[in-house]
Amino acid sequence: MNDFWQDGEGIADTAAPDGPIETRWERRKFTAKLVNPANRRKLTVIVVGTGLAGGSAAATLAEAGYHVKSYCYQDTPRRAHSIAAQGGINAAKNYRNDGDSIYRLFYDTVKGGDFRARESNVYRLASVSVNIIDQCVAQGVPFAREYGGLLDNRSFGGTQVSRTFYARGQTGQQLLLGAYQAMERQIGLGTIEMNARHEMLELIVVEGKARGIVVRDMVTGEITTEMADAVVLASGGYGNVFFLSTNAKGCNVTASWRAHRKGALFANPCYTQIHPTCIPESGTHQSKLTLMSESLRNDGRVWVPLAAGDARKPGDIPEAERDYYLERIYPSFGNLVPRDIASRAAKNVCDEGRGVGPGGLGVYLDFADAIGRLGQKAVEAKYGNLFEMYERITGENPYETPMRIYPAVHYTMGGLWVDYDLQSTIPGLFVVGEANFSDHGANRLGASALMQGLGDGYFVLPTTLGNYLAAGPFATVPQDHEAVVEARRAVEDRISRFLSIDGDRTVDSFHRELGHIMWEYCGMERTEEGLTKAIGLIRSLRDEFWQRVKVPGTGEQLNQNLEKAGRVADFFELGELMCIDALHRRESCGGHFRAESQSEDGEALRHDDEFSYVAAWEYFGADRKPTLHKEQLEFEYVHPSTRSYK
C-alpha cells in the first residue's frame, strides 16, 4: 500500500492456447466459433478509427459480411496518422536469403521489447507478417522493387537481417491507401456505414458488455448514441500527452480513456517510445515535431564534437575531434541500435554539454561519407523526399551540412489491456493497433507498428471477433435504456461544463504545460523524486484547468477548441497514470529508463525477478487510487537476457 496505487488480484487468464508456440494460432483459429455467412449481416460492429488497424479491420469485417459502422475524426478515412509512417513494414519473407524466419522475427521482437511482451502474441504477429505483404501487393500497394521486378528490402534498427518492405519514405501512406481503398469499396457496396468528422466521446456498456458509443458530429455538434453487437477501438496511441510529439495534432486518448473509465484495464502506460531521429525544436511557437525516418541511420553517421562547448561549424571540426558515439559504444550494431538506446545515447551526450544547435539539444546525422561512397544521386534516390522535408522545415541543405536531430516522443507501447483474442476486460470491446498494449513490450522495433496494425486488422481480429459474435445477435438495446441515457448525459454535461467555465487560459496553454511536465519527469529518464513531483504538478494543473480554461463558441457548431478541451481533460488523467506506472516500475526496461536502475556503464538494468509482468491498471475515479493487476509474463522460448547491442 502507498499513496499512489493499491494492489489488486493478478490476471490469470490471457485466453492464449498452450502447447508448441508455432501451433497456437492455428489451434485458436480452429477452436474459434464461426458465424454462418447468412447471419453475419444481422450483426453490427462499430469500429472507431480508420488507421491501418481500423481501416483493415473495417474492410475485412465488411467483406466477411458483417454490418460495419466506422468513425473517424478526420474528414475522410484516408488521413489517419498511420499515413505518416515513413520507413517500412517488417515481414519474415526471407527474400534476401539472409537467415530470416518467422522464429527470428519473433525472437528479435521479444528481445527488442526488452522481454516485456507476451510470447504467444508476438509469435502470431511474426507468422501473419508474411500474409500482410501478400495482401498489400494484391491491393496494388506500390512497394519498392528491384530491377528484376521483385520486392526490395532494407534493414532497420535492432535486427541483422533485411526484412523491411518499403515504398520510398511513404510506406505508411501507401499501406493505408490500400486499406482505405478496400474500405471505400465496401462503403460503395453499402456494407460499411462511414461517419467521418465524428468523435467517440463515451462507451456504452450494457449488462457488462460493450454495446455502443456516444459520438459527436464535429460539424453540427449533434450528439448521437450508436449501438452494435461489438465495439472495436482502433484509435491509436497517446503520445500527444506530451504536447510535442511526432503524432498528428488530432491524435488523442479519449476513445481509449473513456473505455478505461468504464472498466477496461490500461496496461503499461509508462512505456513510451522516444524516437532518436527527429528535427529539433526551433522555438516557443513549436506545435509538433517531425520525424526523420530511422532508415536514414542506414547511411547517416551520428556524431557530436569530442569537446563540450565546441561551437565551430560542423564542417570546421576535423575527424579526430568528432565522436561517432554510437559506433564507438555499440560497435556491432553501430548507428543501427534500437530506438530507445539511440535516444538515450543522444540525451547523454547533450547532457555532457556536447549537443549541437540551439540550446545544445541536437546531434549530427551526417551523410558526407555516404555521399562520398555512393554519390549524391544514389543518396537522393534513397532519401530524396526526406532531405527535402528537412530543408523545408529547417531552411538548411542536408547534402551540404549534416542534419541536426534530437529525440522526440513517437509511439506508445502501452494501451488498453487485451487478451490473446484482442478483447479488453470489457466483453465485446476489442482493441487493435497502437491503441492496445499487446506486442511490443517495453520498446517497439522500427517497421513493426505497420505490421501490428495490419496484422490485427486483416488477420487476427476477424477470427477472434467472429468467435465472440457467434453468441449474437444480442438483444436490441432501446435508446431509453438507462446505460444509454446515462452515457449520453455524461457527454452533454461535460460539454456544457467546458463551455461554462469561461476562464482566462486557452486549452493549448494547459496542454503545453502538461507536456512540459511529462517530458521533464516522465520522458527519457525517470526518477522516483521527479515522478512524485510530476504527479503533484499534474494534479494541481488539472484543478486549474477545470477552473480557468476558456472554450469559445457553442456546442452546436464546428468548434475545434471544444474538441481539444475534451482531449486535454483526458490527457491529464492519463498523464497522472503514466507517472504512477513509471513510479511503480522500479527497473529500467526498453523505453522506460529509471535512473536508479542502471548498470555501471549506464545501460538499462531490468529486474526480472520483480517486474516480469504486464502492469494493468483499473480506474476508480480521477481522485482515487488506481488498482494494479499483474499479468505475469512467461518466457518459454526466448529466455530473458541482458539486451546487448555492443
Partner 1 sequence: MDIQVRVWRQSDSSDKGRMVTYDVKDISPDASFLEMLDVLNEKLILDGADPVAFDHDCREGICGMCSMVIDGVAHGPQRATTTCQLHMRHFKDGDVIDVEPWRAAAFPVIKDLVVDRSAFDRIIQAGGYITAPTGAAPEAHATPVPKKDADLAFEAATCIACGACVAACPNGSSMLFTAAKVAHLGLMPQGQPERDTRVIDMLQAQDDAGFGGCTNMGECAEVCPKGIPLNLIGRLNSDYRKALRNSAR
Which residues inside 2-61 make contact with partner 1, applying CB under 8 A?
A: 56, 59-60
Q: How far is the CB of 56 from partner 1 (least distance, A)?
A: 8
Q: Which of residues 202-221 bind partner 1 (CB under 8 A)?
A: 219
Q: Which window, 22-30, 113-121, 133-141, 481-489, contacts partner 1 (CB under 8 A)? A: 133-141
Nearer to partner 1, 370 or 551 (CB): 551
At residue 493, what are phi and psi to the nearest 5 degrees?
-65, -40
Q: How many residues at the interface with partner 1, by CB under 8 A?
A: 83
Rg of the chain over Cα atoms, rounded to whole angstroms, equals 24
At residue 621, what are phi and psi to the nearest 5 degrees?
135, 150
264 vs 508: CA distance, rounded Å: 28
Q: Which of residues 484-523 bind partner 1 (CB under 8 A)?
A: 504, 506, 508-509
| Per-residue x/- track, 137-156, partner 1 (CB under 8 A) | xxxx-xxxxxxxxxx-----
Q: How far is the CB of 510 from partner 1 (least distance, A)?
A: 12
Residues β-bridged to residue 198: 217
Half-sphere exposure of 334 (CA within 13 A, CB side): 12
Strand pairing report for 363-366 and 301-305: antiparallel
Nearer to partner 1, 393 or 471 (CB): 393
Give yes or no for a contact between 392 and 289, defined as CB atoms under 8 angstroms apart.
no
344 vs 593: CA distance, rounded Å: 9
Q: How far is the CB of 448 from partner 1 (least distance, A)?
A: 18
DSSP string, 404-465: EEEEEEEEE--EE---TTSB-SSTTEEE-GGGB--SSTTSPPTT-HHHHHHIIIIIIHHHHH
Give yes or no for a contact between 244 and 289, defined as CB atoms under 8 angstroms apart.
yes
Q: Which window, 3-11, 224-232, 420-428, 555-563, contacts partner 1 (CB under 8 A)? A: 555-563
Residue labelled with grid coordinates 546487448:
644
Nearer to partner 1, 40 or 606 (CB): 40
SS3 label, residue 330: coil
Give yes or no for a contact between 107 and 22, defined as CB atoms under 8 angstroms apart.
no
Nearer to partner 1, 269 or 446 (CB): 446
Nearer to partner 1, 537 or 549 (CB): 549
For the beta carbon of residue 51, count every other beta carbon within 10 angstroms: 36
Q: Which of residues 402-421 bind partner 1 (CB under 8 A)?
A: none
561 vs 501: CA distance, rounded Å: 13
Q: How far is the CB of 511 from partner 1 (least distance, A)?
A: 12
- The full 3-state SS of 456-473, as one line of letters, equals HHHHHHHHHHHHHHCCCC
Q: Which of 109, 127, 162, 173 binds partner 1 (CB under 8 A)?
A: 173
Nearer to partner 1, 217 or 352 (CB): 217
For 544, the grid coordinates are 486549474
The DSSP letter of residue 385 is: H
Q: How far is the CB of 6 from partner 1 (least distance, A)?
A: 39
Query: If you count them, how many residues does the chain have?
Result: 646
Nearer to partner 1, 458 or 645 (CB): 458
For the beta carbon of residue 550, count every other beta carbon within 10 angstroms: 16
Q: Which of 105, 126, 167, 223 binds partner 1 (CB under 8 A)?
A: 167
Q: How far is the CB of 195 from partner 1 (least distance, A)?
A: 11
324 vs 346: CA distance, rounded Å: 11
Nearer to partner 1, 112 or 566 (CB): 566
Closest alpha carbon to 500 in 542, 539, 549, 541? 549
Closest alpha carbon to 1 in 639, 641, 644, 628? 628
- The verdict on 552 binding partner 1 (CB under 8 A) reads yes
Q: How far is the CB of 600 from partner 1 (least distance, A)?
A: 40
Q: Which of residues 435-454 bind partner 1 (CB under 8 A)?
A: none
Nearer to partner 1, 406 or 611 (CB): 406
- The verdict on 79 binding partner 1 (CB under 8 A) reads yes
Nearer to partner 1, 353 or 552 (CB): 552
Q: How far is the CB of 103 from partner 1 (least distance, A)?
A: 20
Identity of residue 603: E
Give yes or no for a contact between 511 and 268, defined as CB atoms under 8 angstroms apart.
no
Q: Residue 213: enclosing H or E segment and its boundaries?
A: strand 209-217
Q: How far is the CB of 301 from partner 1 (least distance, A)?
A: 24
Q: Which of 76, 479, 547, 642 binds partner 1 (CB under 8 A)?
A: 76
Q: Which window, 71-79, 253-261, 300-308, 415-423, contacts partner 1 (CB under 8 A)? A: 71-79
Residues β-bridged to residue 453: none
Q: Which of residues 222-261 bind partner 1 (CB under 8 A)?
A: 246, 248-250
Q: Residue 518: enclosing H or E segment and its boundaries?
A: helix 507-522
Q: Which of residues 557-596 bind partner 1 (CB under 8 A)?
A: 557-558, 560-561
Give yes or no for a contact between 24 and 123, defined as CB atoms under 8 angstroms apart.
yes
- The verdict on 184 binding partner 1 (CB under 8 A) reads yes
Q: Which of 1, 97, 285, 609 binds partner 1 (CB under 8 A)?
A: 285
Q: Which of residues 263-282 bind partner 1 (CB under 8 A)?
A: 282
| Per-residue x/- track, 367-396, partner 1 (CB under 8 A) | ---------------------xx--xxxx-
Q: Which of 174, 225, 277, 412 binds partner 1 (CB under 8 A)?
A: 174
C-alpha to C-alpha distances, 111 to 25, 270, 410, 447, 644, nearest whole angstrom: 21, 19, 20, 15, 10
Q: How far is the CB of 244 from partner 1 (least distance, A)?
A: 11
Q: Which of residues 460-479 bind partner 1 (CB under 8 A)?
A: 462
Nearer to partner 1, 400 or 634 (CB): 400
Nearer to partner 1, 87 or 305 (CB): 87
Nearer to partner 1, 443 or 464 (CB): 464
